[in-house]
Structure 1
Amino acid sequence: MANQRQIHIKLEENLHTKLRKTSKDKGITMQEFVTKALNNELYYQSELNLDTHSFTFIDLFAGIGGMRIAFEAAGGRCVFTSEIDKFCKKTYFGNFGEVPEGDIAKVKESDIPDHDILVAGFPCQPFSIAGVSKKRSLGKEDGFLDKTQGTLFFDIARIIKEKKPKAFLLENVKNLRSHDKGKTFQIICKTLEELGYKVNSRILDGHHFVPQHRERIFIVGILEDIQAEDPLESLPLPEPNHKVRDILEKEVDDKYTLSDKLWDYLQSYAKKHREKGNGFGFGKVNLDGITRTLSARYYKDGSEILIPQKGKNPRRLTPKECARLQGFPETFEIPVSDTQAYKQFGNSVTVPLVTAIAEQLVNNLHFNKEKVKS
């Protein structure tokens, strides 16, 4: 065991209680928790030079931190983060040394630090469109508060209204644009415009950066009084030239190979739907091509992305390969079960795509011209 030195620190009682509870929930000692947090902080201070950064940002509905990696790479410092899923929080802590705040609905907007950019990969919930006249007759508030109350987007809107960041980047599934015949998306954009922002959106495919077909909608807003080119319109996209074989591990445990029972089921299921004229079925990958979209249900049977193997049944991707497929760095830790890892990477963003958007947004806002001290 390496030589160890002791330090003695005093903590406020509420912080000590929180530290003890969090350590217990994670199944580690308080010393292990603090050591991990210090190591991560020192790493980021040295690697990213956070003493001077171009801008600050907050990371809402953070998942496992894909958006954070992207915006830190663009020169930002994260000053607040929230995520409700306990397994995502474990992965987040393992990589950033921080435990995100929990339910954002329970966090007062006034308690969130000031920031330059808000980023959020928020879940899509149905929006209730009530008649404004009826609300007014009942003495209730209309406008953005009325239209988005009760949805997770409301929490983004109330924080933007309070903090007025210079810009924001929101990410969601492609179908958000057509949800409820386009009404949901219309409300989102109108809400953000009412808050004083120039809003634009664009559906982008991750296959420009990784060997995966993954279309997502990105929404950017910039304060109306800021003169800046829209980053989605000016975003340079490289020609897709990635291959699945480039992200595969050299040695893979046999546990990822499909059982005969599961493989027979997937083949018969696909055959049945082909006979009906449907396109449902498994996705056996061309190793020199790209994959289908990795989804959060991948843990169930891996059917949408199956890797062919010589002389035996195809296999699932490993969690490490899922991380690579989403463009996470090689050093990214996966401290959870395979099932949770599949869910997490299936719900995550394609990191290099978001990094490209973040860099374009930062360049257009000229943050790089005015360094900010921590």
Structure 2
Amino acid sequence: MEKTICELFAGVGGFRLGFDRLNTGWKTTWFSQWEPGASKQWAHECYVKHFGECTDLKGELHTGDDISTVEKDLIPPHTLLVGGFPCQDYSVAHTLASSKGIEGKKGVLWWQIRDILIAKKAPFCIFENVDRLLKSPAKQRGRDFGIILSCLNDLDYSVEWRVVNAAIYGAAQRRRRTFIFAYKNSSAYGQRMKSEAPSHLISKTGLMATAFPIKDTTKLKSTTLPKDIVETSDTFAFLFSNAGYMHDGIVYTAPVTEIEETPISLGEILEHGVDESFYITDETRMARWIYLKGPKKIPRKAANGHEYTFSEGPIAFPDPWDRPGRTMLTSESTLNRSTHIVTDPKTGRLRTLTPIEAERLQGFDDNWTNTGMPQRMRFFCMGNALVVPMITRMGKILDIIIEQEP
């Protein structure tokens, strides 16, 4: 089996870099990166500067186009489909033309993934999403993930998933993300796994358990997905735990405890002495930082007239050196509660992170985004990215799986 990848919603190339670092022969046949509403496609430009372009089967370039406009049959063949897709409302309905067809909520990118799976039939997939995917939407907990599992089940895939805190597995950031590994039931791996006890697969033998070791599962529970995806959208609700497995429409899930490795501390990734522009020098801004990071109890009134108190606890100010950083958002470096504030190792003064430090939090090479994009966009791209070493960990196990395929 060839080691070929198609990378969707590619950003600045975190999936590709993670597999390239294996140096085991993975080749990307096509990618897609398009930022809606952006006049300048900075992430796409960064990706191309590092890796070059990919043509479709007609020899045309469409990697920077809206994926919904791309003709799926013209995407080059690939063994592995990867992508970090947005968490959205995944509700569906029957199409007017046919009661057998489904129509996803407009603009939801999951349906583009589904269309590519139908067209190209990749044997393996790895997807990344926020941890709240397992619990959304609030009014029908678990429905959205249930729809994704139903789609994959209909296309003859089995699925493993894990919510991974990157810091637990040696990274410099406490970033929790849901990783989904889907594989065709006809694959050699799929044939082996269907004979495994679900609890053993989740805790010991599956790709997720091997890449991200955990203690034995307890409190395993199961449910059966509705036969129809529209029924899943209308009625399904289930409390998914942070690990699980789906085969033949039956879902098994259990809360698991990770086997913690030594993380990288925030202090280890800091630069020593940086440009003056990163320091907090204005007293008014300092007062604002102190307020944003501090505890709050604010009286508020809802649209229906209900009065309540909005509360939030304090955030460490400055961020401690001796533990991994907090989850980095796309707003990193702006004046807001989530931005990291650190004590500079050389000067002892308070400052924000630098773009290089943001890259290190995500496990990218220094100056990865120093490709001509504005500094603000460098932080935005890193806030959108994934933690690259987590991809490499999964890739090591997938290498073994691929070796055993015919």
| TM-score above 0.5, yes or no | yes
Identify the TM-score tier after normalising by the shorter chain. Answer: 0.7 to 0.9
Please give the residue correspondences for 1:1-374 in structure 2 after superposition, counting only pairs within 5 Å.
55-74=3-22, 75=24, 76-85=26-35, 86-98=41-53, 100-130=63-93, 132=94, 135=95, 138-142=96-100, 145-147=102-104, 150-180=107-137, 181-207=141-167, 208-228=169-189, 230-237=206-213, 239-258=261-280, 259-271=282-294, 273=296, 277-279=311-313, 281=315, 283-301=317-335, 303-304=337-338, 305-309=340-344, 313-330=349-366, 332-335=368-371, 336-366=373-403
For the residues of structure 2 that align with 1:242 and 1:102, how far apart are their CA atoms?
37
Question: CA RMSD, aligned part only?
Answer: 2.5
Tell whether the 8 Å contact from 2:166 to 2:387 is kept in structure 1 after alignment: yes
Where structure 1 has 5 or more consecutive residues not aligned to the other structure, the ranges are 1-52
- Cα pair distance change 1:129/1:318, threshold 3 Å: same
Tell whether the 8 Å contact from 2:163 to 2:179 is kept in structure 1 after alignment: yes
Which amino acid counterpart does residue 160 of structure 1 have in structure 2? L
- Cα pair distance change 1:240/1:148, threshold 3 Å: farther
Which amino acid counterpart does residue 279 of structure 2 have in structure 1? T
Q: Normalising by the residue count of structure 2, what TM-score does the alignment of the two structures yield?
A: 0.71
- Cα pair distance change 1:250/1:117, threshold 3 Å: same
- What count of residue pairs does the alignment treat as equivalent? 311
Query: 1:288-324 CA distances to partner (integer Å, 9 max, x unpaired)?
Result: 1111101111142264311124876521110001111
For the residues of structure 2 that align with 1:363 and 1:329, how far apart are their CA atoms?
26
Tell whether the 8 Å contact from 1:61 to 1:82 is kept in structure 2 after alignment: yes
- Cα pair distance change 1:210/1:110, threshold 3 Å: same
Which amino acid counterpart does residue 210 of structure 2 have in structure 1? S
Tell whether the 8 Å contact from 2:333 to 2:353 is kept in structure 1 after alignment: no
**Please, which moves more after superposition, 266-275 or 147-156?**
266-275
Which amino acid counterpart does residue 51 of structure 2 have in structure 1? F
Which amino acid counterpart does residue 176 of structure 1 have in structure 2? L
1:140 alignment partner, SS class: coil
- 1:220 Cα shift? 0.7
Query: 1:214-258 CA distances to partner (integer Å, 9 max, x unpaired)?
Result: 000011101001132531122245603311121111231111112
For the residues of structure 1 that align with 2:50 and 2:264, how far apart are their CA atoms?
26
More helix by share: 1
For the residues of structure 1 that align with 2:390 and 2:123, how far apart are their CA atoms?
21
- 1:71 Cα shift? 2.0
Which amino acid counterpart does residue 231 of structure 1 have in structure 2? L
- Cα pair distance change 1:184/1:280, threshold 3 Å: farther
Tell whether the 8 Å contact from 2:89 to 2:105 is kept in structure 1 after alignment: no
Query: 1:77-109 CA distances to partner (integer Å, 9 max, x unpaired)?
Result: 001011113011121122223383321111111
For the residues of structure 2 that align with 1:272 and 1:247, how far apart are their CA atoms?
28
- Cα pair distance change 1:232/1:171, threshold 3 Å: same
For the residues of structure 1 that align with 2:184 and 2:149, how far apart are their CA atoms?
14
**Please, which moves more after superposition, 62-71 or 95-104?**
95-104
Tell whether the 8 Å contact from 1:266 to 1:282 is kept in structure 2 after alignment: no
2:343 alignment partner, SS class: strand
Which amino acid counterpart does residue 266 of structure 1 have in structure 2? W
For the residues of structure 2 that align with 1:113 and 1:149, how far apart are their CA atoms?
26
- Cα pair distance change 1:278/1:292, threshold 3 Å: same
- 1:127 Cα shift? 1.8
Which amino acid counterpart does residue 66 of structure 2 have in structure 1? D
For the residues of structure 2 that align with 1:331 and 1:87, how far apart are their CA atoms?
14
2:188 alignment partner, SS class: coil
For the residues of structure 1 that align with 2:271 and 2:319, how far apart are their CA atoms?
15
Which amino acid counterpart does residue 332 of structure 2 have in structure 1? Y
1:198 alignment partner, SS class: strand
- Cα pair distance change 1:302/1:278, threshold 3 Å: closer
Query: 1:247-278 CA distances to partner (integer Å, 9 max, x unpaired)?
Result: 11123111111232222112123445169752
For the residues of structure 1 that align with 2:131 and 2:177, how far apart are their CA atoms?
5
- 1:359 Cα shift? 1.8
